[in-house]
Amino acid sequence: MKITVAGGTGLVGQSILTELRHHPEYELHSLSQTGRRPTSIPGVTYHAVNLLADISWQQLIETSDWVIDCVGILFENRRKQITYQTSSVLPAKKLIDTLTNTSGNFLYVSANYAPFFLKDYLATKKEVELYAQSRLGQRAVCVFPGIVYSKKRLSNYYPARIIANLIRTRHFNWLTKLRPISSQAFAHEILSIITGLPSPLRKRIP
């Protein structure tokens, strides 16, 4: 099985590839603007590409059994022309369009919830969800994590762990929609989906 992770050099993408590499039956590829890094994972083929500016990656996508989209930004920087459309929506639509006439599956890493000041972030996630479902039907799978945390990124590790502990108490269960999940646990859920098993991440927590 050939699996391509778009955004494979980010925290979430690297975690997924780390989980999948334990299965030698998978042929693993990573797409990112940087390509291979010093922290790259053995057994993964890294490709440096610009999803919007070239088409060198399209044949790889067309021959992949699964394409996992981890591409995106949390905050825009309009001064640097970094927007949700150019960094999240348009790359995803390019991947989806490339898969349209294939038998490949598309797994989109969406979001369970976002606070009011990130309403545009969540809106763009939902835009991609709808586009994927309209173009690919049942071959499009969306997952809805909250804060994906790791000790490799302490800026979200400690807040996420605190929230996770608060959720276990009766008075703070309203924080459940923030849905903190470790990057390792998240990657394991992705593996479950690829192998045809159910996952709670396929449903949003209201």
> pLDDT tens, 153-184?
999 999 999 999 999 998 998 999 999 999 99
- What average pLDDT does the chain have? 96
- 36 has pLDDT over 90: no
Burial classification of residue 15, based on how many CB atoms lie within 10 Å of its CB (0-12 exposed, 13-18 middle, 19 or more buried): buried
Distance of alpha carbon 156 from alpha carbon 139, whole angstroms: 32
Distance CA 37, CA 19 (A): 18
Kindly report the pTM of this predicted structure: 0.96
Which tokens belong to 1?
A: 């099985």
